[in-house]
Amino acid sequence: MNKADIVSVVADAADISKASASRAVEKVFESITTALGNGDVASIAGFGNFSVSERSARQGRNPRTGESIHIAASKSIKFKAGKALKDAVN
C-alpha cells in the first residue's frame, strides 16, 4: 500500500474528496516528521510509536579491504508497533 492508496481509502471512508484526503494525510505525515525532528515521540494509540534513536560513533571495517574506518554518530527512527496492530497482523 502506498500513499495514493492511503489517500483513496481515507477519501472513501470519510466521504470526502481525494484532494481533501490528500491534504489530511500530508498533514499527518508532516506532524510526525516535525515531532521526530524536535526529538519528541509520535504516538498513535492502537497503532504504535515513532521515536528517534541515537547511534554513537564507532570504528568499523571496510569488508573489501579490511581497512579500519570511522563511522560517524547518527540518528535513526524506531517504530514500535502497538498491541492493536500486532493483534491485527497475528
Q: 24-56 burial, b if ≥16 CB within 10 A, otherwise e? A: ebeeeeeebeebbeeeeebeeeeebebbbeeee
Residue 32 sits in the same domain as residue 49: no
Q: What's the number of domains the chain is made of?
A: 2
Residue 88 sits in the same domain as residue 56: yes
pTM for the full predicted model:
0.76
Residue 70 sits in the same domain as residue 83: yes
Per-residue pLDDT of the chain (90 residues; tens, 9 = 90+): 999 999 999 999 999 999 999 999 999 999 999 999 999 999 999 999 999 999 999 999 999 999 999 999 999 999 999 999 999 999
Residue 30 sits in the same domain as residue 49: no
Residue 31 sits in the same domain as residue 68: no
Residue 23 sits in the same domain as residue 54: no
Residue 65 sits in the same domain as residue 87: yes
Domain residues for 64? 45-90
